[in-house]
């Protein structure tokens, strides 16, 4: 490899999200759940395989489904991209901006809300998620889930 190519490869590998391999996102895999107010939330992620993770989210309250989302994290053009489909609707892409061991942040400044989504592994059995308007102090929603928690009785 000539020096110019070596420099280009080094720069590409330093781009946010570009250097992440599938195993770096496997900490998200599992069934996560918990209560947010009176709403029971569940989020399930399959481990990454073939540059693709598949996830789904479901909210229930008083024995009734009140929301759901299909999700994927796929490598697109060398960058991990979170592909959200709230309510099964149109896909909204959020390219990764940061991937560090037990956390990932994705962003889409052109989207109304949210503009940023972050997942952070708190410990082996706790996953924290946050969606926000792209700022630390603006509009946001947060969830903290435990692995394989008990589903409340309806």
Helix (H) or strand (E) holding 10: helix 3-14
What is the spatial distance between Cα 112 and Cα 11, in angstroms, rounded to a whole number? 31
Sequential pLDDT tens for the chain (154 residues): 333 323 222 223 333 444 456 678 999 999 999 999 999 999 999 999 999 999 999 999 999 999 999 999 999 999 999 999 999 999 999 999 999 989 999 999 999 999 999 999 999 999 999 999 999 999 999 999 999 888 877 6
CA 12 to the chain's CA centroid: 22
pTM for this predicted structure? 0.83
What is the spatial distance between Cα 95 and Cα 8, in angstroms, rounded to a whole number? 21
Q: How large is the greatest C-alpha to C-alpha distance in the chain, in angstroms?
A: 64
In Å, what is the CA distance from 27 to each residue of 77, 89, 119, 121, 136?
23, 27, 10, 7, 24
């Amino acid at each position: 490899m000539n020096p110019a190519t070596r420099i280009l490869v080094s720069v590409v590998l330093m781009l946010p999200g570009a250097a992440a391999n599938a195993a770096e996102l496997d900490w998200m895999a599992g069934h996560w759940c918990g209560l947010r107010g009176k709403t029971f939330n569940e989020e399930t992620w399959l481990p990454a395989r073939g540059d693709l993770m598949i996830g789904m989210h479901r909210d229930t309250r008083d024995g009734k489904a009140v929301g759901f989302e299909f999700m994927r994290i796929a490598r697109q053009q060398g960058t991990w991209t979170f592909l959200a489909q709230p309510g099964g609707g149109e896909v909204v892409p959020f390219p990764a901006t940061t991937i560090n061991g037990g956390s990932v942040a994705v962003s889409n400044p052109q989207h109304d809300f949210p503009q940023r989504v972050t997942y952070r592994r708190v410990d082996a059995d706790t996953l924290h998620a946050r969606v926000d308007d792209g700022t630390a102090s603006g509009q946001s929603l947060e969830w903290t889930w435990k692995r394989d928690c008990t589903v409340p009785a309806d």
